[in-house]
Amino acid sequence: LEGTRWVLDSIDDGTSSVQVLEGTEPFLEFDGETVSGSDGCNSFNGGVTVGPDDAIAFGQMAGTMMACEEAITIQATAINAALAGVITYQVDGDQLTLSADDGTGLVYGAG
């Protein structure tokens, strides 16, 4: 996970996959037990715990509170909700998939 800027490709709401809005670049960067990134509207950082068997848990995030266009705000809300529920990760080549037990998730590509 470390050493790569992971740029969000799509958001999976459990029934379909939605591509990231053009002009936004949500991303994650891992550094030890911390993660920083952007939801396409605001920057954030916080703790992350990577455990055995591809387990991952994101802690409370601190972030900026910028106002953004409605569509971008909706996307950012979906990203943050997905991160809060993520319990597993999988790296396959240059793709990182974060998944929750309810079928939702985020798919990132190595940027």
Provide the pLDDT confidence category of residue 13 given band limits of 50, 70 and 90: confident
Residue 110 has a pLDDT of: 98
Contact (Cβ atoms closer than 8 angstroms) between residue 62 and residue 76: no
Q: Cα torsion for 108, 19, 53, 94, to the nearest 10°? A: -30
CATH number at 5-110: 2.40.128.270
The ranges assigned to domains in the chain are: 5-110
pLDDT digits (tens, 9 = 90+) for 26-81: 999 999 999 999 999 999 999 999 999 999 999 999 999 999 999 999 999 999 99
In this predicted structure, the answer to whether residue 12 has a pLDDT above a threshold of 90 is yes
DSSP string, 53-106: TTBEEEEEEEE------HHHHHHHHHHHHHHHHEEEEEEETTEEEEEETTS-EE
Provide the pLDDT confidence category of residue 14 given band limits of 50, 70 and 90: confident
This model's pTM is above 0.75 = yes
